[in-house]
Structure 1
Amino acid sequence: MWVRADWVVKVLERNVPSILWMARGMDLKIQRRLCSKPQEESQPQPRSRSTLRVPGHKPTDWEKRFLLWAGHFKKAEDIPETVSIETIRAAKTTLRVKFSYVMIALTILGCVIMVIRGKQAVKRHESLISINLEKKAQWREEAAQSTSAKP
């Protein structure tokens, strides 16, 4: 039984394409569709500004505060009437980072305080188990008193 050579090549191209491409001397970088961008997209293209984009943005009061807190301007009087959107975005990003640092510091401080308070409670021989047992004993006494008070 004879097999046609072109049929074998088609089957191999579908099942083992990289072997045939290497055998043919083709560049593998072009054929990796899912792993990399196509050649024409990988080169940076000059960005053109949209015609609808406003060259300057009048900042609101909150945006002015963001600009001050982020350190872009020293005083509120230094902020110009119009500021670029990129400057406001940069200020907001800076504030997000600063806020996350503050939250990390407060979390660590809270953990340290809770450890200290827990060690103090151990020195006083207080624990959740003893507190819960005392509450349950008190509830039993109240329940016993309420049942004995009813005639």
Structure 2
Amino acid sequence: MGSLRGLRQVAGSYFRLYERGASSSLRLTRNSALKRINGYCAKPQESPKAPSYTYSHRVPLHKPTHWEKKILLWSGRFKKEDEIPETVSFEMLDAAKNKIRVKVSYAMIVLTVAGCIWMVIEGKKVRVDFLVCFLQRI
């Protein structure tokens, strides 16, 4: 544990020395866009400009696995497995997965309601059987 503490102290002192060197170099530069204010570096107020970079419209593509191909088919995106291209976009996969997720949730709702109705019917059968047995004993 002592060596770890010493290592942390050495690293801390190294970074403090590095920060001093960096701050002095900031003060010595002439055409720097940064100025030193109360120990902090801040950019001067500038008017907002349009970004100089251009946005590329290329969408990253993904080679679908066998399972993802099945999802694309079940979601109705493609009719046959032969129609699925070699690479598809992540957005297409996400849309297909969301559609399957919604279909599964609808199926679960239907199964839950059907199960509740079935339990009510079974419960009434048990109640009728119980009453018949109870009345025969009396």
Instruction: Note the alpha carbon deviations across 1:74-114, whole angstroms, 9 max, x for none.
Output: 00001000111100000000000000000000000000000
Match for 1:79: what amino acid? Answer: I
Unaligned runs of 5+ in 1: 1-39, 41-46, 131-151
Q: Which is strand-richer, 1 or 2?
A: 2
What is the number of equivalent residue pairs in this alignment?
A: 80
Percent of aligned pairs with the same amino acid: 54
**How far, CA to CA, are the matches of 2:112 and 2:56 in structure 1?**
43
Match for 1:48: what amino acid? Answer: Y
TM-score of the aligned structures, taking structure 1 as reference length: 0.48
Unaligned runs of 5+ in 2: 1-47, 49-53
Compared CA separation, residues 107 and 49, structure 1 to 2 (3 A):
farther
Note the 1:1-150 alignment, pairs <5 A: 48-49=55-56, 55-125=60-130
Match for 2:55: what amino acid? Answer: S
What is the alpha-carbon root mean square deviation over aligned residues?
Answer: 2.6
- For the residue of structure 2 that corresponds to 1:59, the secondary structure is coil
* Structure 1 residue 56 displacement after superposition: 1.6
**How far, CA to CA, are the matches of 2:113 and 2:56 in structure 1?**
45
> Hey, which bits of structure 1, 4+ residues long, moved more than 6 A?
none
**How far, CA to CA, are the matches of 2:71 and 2:60 in structure 1?**
20
